Amino acid sequence: MQDKYAREYWRANIRLLMILLSIWFFISYLCGIVLADWLDNIRIGGFKLGFWIAQQGAIYVFIALILVYVKAMDKLDSQYRDHHPSSPEQSPEDSSNDAGDDSEITGGRE
């Protein structure tokens, strides 16, 4: 059985996923497909809005969603660690590298 910090961490994670995936669905399936014809009545420069979202805007939103996720999860991870200094799941391959600096090209599974 998991401890309460692990459960809290997981709940916070799920909440974040729900929010981000709702935006993902809203922008691509609703704005880009279902409501696109209606949004086309609005124009930005030479673009109709629905068309622009379907061919450009949605992609920019996707990038923003992943960037927000990366930031938020890094924060959530460090909060978890504050409550949980010796994580039992911490496997050796993960702790041997990636210590704060993601760009180092060392380490491995051994």
Partner 1 sequence: MTVQLWTYLFVALSFGLYIGIAIWSRAGSTNDFYVAGSGVSPLANGMATAADWMSAASFISMAGLISFLGRDGSFYLMGWTGGYVLLALLLAPYLRKFGQYTVPDFIGDRYYSRSARLVAVVCAITVSFVYVCGQMQGAGIVFSRFLEVDITTGVFIGMGIVFFYAVLGGMKGITYTQVAQYCVLIFAYLVPAIFISMMMTGNPIPQLGFGSELNADYGGGYLLDRLDNLSAELGLAPYTEGQRSTQDVFFITAALMFGTAGLPHVIIRFFTVPGVRAARKSAAYALIFIALLYTTAPAIAAFAKTNLLTTVSNTEYQALPEWFYTWEQTGLIQFSDLNGDGAVQYTGDASTNELTVNRDIMVLANPEIAGLPDWVIALVAAGALAAALSTAAGLLLVISTAVSHDLLKRSLMPGITEKQELLFARIAIFIAILIAGYFGINPPGFVAEVVAFAFGLAAASFFPAIVTGIFFQRMNRQGAISGMVAGFLFTSGYIAYFKLIAPESNSAEHWLFGISPEGIGALGMLLNMLVALIVCRLYAAPPQHIRELVDSIRTPGDR
Which chain residues interact with partner 1 by CB under 8 A? 2, 6, 9-10, 13, 17, 20-21, 24, 28-29, 32-34, 36-37, 40, 44-48, 51-52, 54-56, 58-60, 62-63, 65-67, 69-70, 73-74, 76-77, 80-81, 87, 89-91, 93-95, 97-100, 102-110
Q: Confirm if 50 and 39 have CB atoms less than 8 A apart.
A: yes
Token pair for 72: 């938020």
What is the smallest separation between the CB atom of 95 and partner 1, expressed in angstroms? 6
Min CB(21)–partner 1 separation in Å: 7
Find the shortest distance in angstroms from Cβ 34 to partner 1: 6
Residues 6+ apart with CB under 8 A from 101: none
Give the number of other Cβ atoms within 10 Å of residue 26's Cβ: 13
Q: How many CB atoms lie within 10 A of CB 4?
A: 8
Name the residue among 47, 25, 46, 21 with its Cα closest to residue 35.
25
- Residue 55 Cβ, how far from partner 1 at the closest point, in Å? 4
